[in-house]
Amino acid sequence: MDQSKSLMTPNKNSKRTKSVIRTAGVIGGGIIGAWTALHLAEAGVKTTLFEQFPLPHTRGSSHGQSRAFRLLGDNELDRLDYSFDRWRDLEDATGELLFVKTGLLNFGTAGDPYLKKHMDILRAGGRPCEWLESHEIARRFPMMRYPEAWGAAWDPSGGILLAHRCLTAVQRKFESLGGSIVAADVRSIRSIPGSGVRIESRSSVNGVVGKIDLDTAVVCAGPWTGKLLPVLSEHLQPLLTPVTYWRDPEETCSVANGFPILFNARLTDMYGLPSFEYPGLVKVLYHGGPTTDPDHRDHASLAPYIELIRRYVAEYLPSLDSRQPAILETCMYTMTPDSEPIIDRLEPNLIVGCGFSGSGFKHSPATGQMLAAFALEREDLLPLGYATKRYQISRFS
């Protein structure tokens, strides 16, 4: 793949930079903000990453040990290819395991036009994929029991990103390039006409409120974005989502035993990952949950959603103990009306990346590259396949 790894890479097609960006603030130390800050630091910009909570924390969307990576399901492969390369580069640089290949089953009914379209995209790109009928799924994975009318597209490139390690590795790399992570809650961001932005924040360490003027700001505040930028709140819906782990007494549904990622969100709103992060426990998730305020999320009731997951486990994964989850954790989604993110310029020096709708982790290296390019007014450096127009806020108006 021949795409620029850093926004410093000269591009003969690039236009002249409109303004010189020397300083930047990124608000939000989750995976999107961390990658954005790293790209800006790689481009030589003095970058401050503001995070309201002491790191690491479990109150946003980027915590936990695992996220699914899949090729099948995207219209353009460029962002995924770029992202996968950057995850691998980070693995090489840190010497840490960040990705475990497992393969992925993406479920649908026979002739499903969505899966057909996406299998065609993979094939056109020379990537392997295969349609498996229900009986073939049962032959390869006897620990599953799915209805005859269902099948699945087999995406052998799928696997697990070790989320916490990934996030920490990006934050550390950012700091190694001189980037600064500040424990502070950003209260407001105001454009300063003709120059940049003024960020007001309150230190999480000593409560001191301070102001700083910077050339540009990128807001990656996950489920809090609508609070910081109320103009976006009508397009963003934070959800609390249950993350459940089910005991696998025979340990047949493990990475070591060849159990793949199950992506069954379109038929049942469920997806699952083999036992890996907690030995002997299979992770099963509901793709959704109750609407909530990220500062009061623990008041939302997850009981009906856990019961839906329990029924799924009992019906389709009979080797698991389906009486109750062995572990329950929670996480936040930030949904948009079309489940596509917002990656756009809100004001000349104010960029926003939010609304990843439960699927932003795998692409985050490319998303950070896009946000940094917007901040540097160098969108012209982005590969055409990134289709940046698709993520503009104006699509909702």
Count the alpha carbons within 13 Å of 376 in the hemisphere toward its beta carbon: 30
What is the C-alpha separation between 117 and 182, in angstroms, rounded? 44
With tokens 């960006």, the residue in question is 21
Cβ proximity to ligand FAD, 135 vs 211, nearer residue: 211
* CA distance linking residue 237 with residue 260, whole number of Å: 30
Residue closer to ligand FAD (CB basis): 287 or 345: 287
Q: How far is the CB of 13 from ligand FAD (least distance, A)?
A: 30
Alpha helices in the chain (DSSP H): 31-42, 78-94, 113-124, 134-140, 163-176, 225-228, 265-268, 303-316, 364-375
- For residues 100 and 159, is the Cβ–Cβ distance under 8 A? yes
- Nearest approach in angstroms of CB 199 to ligand FAD is 9
Q: Which is nearer to ligand FAD, 44 or 288 (CB)?
A: 288
Q: How far is the CB of 14 from ligand FAD (least distance, A)?
A: 28
CB of 397 to ligand FAD, least distance (A): 23
Interface residue list for ligand FAD (CB under 6 A): 27-33, 50-53, 60-62, 67-68, 185-186, 220-224, 228, 241, 243, 285, 331-333, 356, 358-362
Peptide bond preceding 290 in cis form (omega within 30 of 0)? no
Report the residue number, 151 or 223, with the smaller CB distance to ligand FAD.
223
Q: Measured from the CB atom, is 134 or 345 closer to ligand FAD?
A: 345
Which strands form 67-69's sheet, in the order they lie side by side? Answer: 67-69, 159-161, 99-101
Longest dimension (CA), the chain: 65
Helix (H, G, I), strand (E, B) or coil at 22: coil
| Least distance between ligand FAD and beta carbon 204 (Å) | 9
Phi-psi region of 376 (alpha: psi -120 to 50; beta: other; left: phi over 0): alpha
Minimum CB–partner distance for residue 222 and ligand FAD (Å) = 2
Identify which of residues 9 and 291 has a Cβ nearer to ligand FAD in the complex: 291
Closest residue by beta carbon to ligand FAD: 30
